[in-house]
């Protein structure tokens, strides 16, 4: 009997179906400004692995060069899937409750618990597990491809 995860059944992890699905999502775009572009990492700004029990911040600059929108999703490094206890799976520029800074930038937070007052900008990461994000740009513009747009590293915070 299958579980709630599309790629996992009680007796095996369906890597073939997952591989086919991921290949469809990560194929390069044929024309700049169409499709999507992904940023990912397994480490914070100091080079340490991203750990679920720690707290982190990603400062997303104002005016991300996209025609459509941007979003970030976190995944367990152990399963390459969502955390079972997550109440929200992704955050992005289309979220109405997302709190923006005065200059239009956005601070996103990751960790086991939300920071006070930042619940709308927070994604859950499970203590005891390493994790990784995919920061997706939908309709990426030239600044992404010529690398004049820089997404800062994720910083560990106290």
Mean pLDDT to the nearest integer, 56-62: 98
Mean pLDDT to the nearest integer, 123-129: 96
Looking at the domain that runs over 33-157, which CATH code has it been given? 2.60.120.600
| Span between the terminal Cα atoms of the chain, in Å | 42
Largest CA distance in the chain: 51
Q: How far is CA 71 from the centre of its chain?
A: 7
User: Would you state the pLDDT for residue 3?
Assistant: 47
pTM (two decimals): 0.80
| Phi and psi torsions of 63, nearest 5° | 55, 50
User: Would you state the pLDDT for residue 102?
Assistant: 97
Q: Please say if the pLDDT value at position 61 is more than 60.
A: yes
Residue 80 confidence class, pLDDT cut points 50, 70, 90: confident
Q: Where are the domains of the chain?
A: 33-157
User: Would you state the pLDDT for residue 85?
Assistant: 82
Query: Which of 25, 21, 6, 133 shows the shortest CA–CA distance to 75?
Result: 133
The residue ranking higher by pLDDT, 7 or 68, is 68
Calculate the alpha carbon distances from 64 to 37, 70, 83, 105 in Å.
12, 8, 27, 9
Mean pLDDT to the nearest integer, 97-115: 97
Question: Tens digit of pLDDT for each residue in 6-38?
Answer: 545 555 555 566 565 665 555 555 566 678 889
């Amino acid at each position: 009997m299958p579980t709630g995860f599309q790629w996992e059944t009680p007796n095996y992890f369906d890597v073939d179906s997952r591989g086919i699905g991921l290949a469809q999502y990560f194929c390069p775009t044929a024309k700049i400004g169409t499709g999507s572009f992904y940023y990912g990492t397994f480490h914070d700004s100091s080079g340490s692995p991203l750990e679920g029990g720690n707290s982190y911040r990603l400062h997303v600059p104002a005016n991300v060069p996209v025609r459509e929108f941007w979003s970030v999703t976190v995944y367990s490094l152990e399963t390459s899937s969502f955390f079972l206890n997550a109440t929200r799976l992704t955050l992005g520029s289309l979220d109405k409750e997302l709190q923006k800074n005065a200059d239009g930038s956005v601070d996103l937070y990751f960790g086991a618990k939300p920071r006070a007052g930042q619940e709308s900008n927070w994604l859950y990461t499970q203590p005891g597990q390493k994790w990784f994000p995919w920061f997706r740009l939908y309709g990426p513009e030239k600044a992404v491809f010529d690398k004049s747009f820089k997404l800062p590293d994720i910083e560990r915070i106290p």
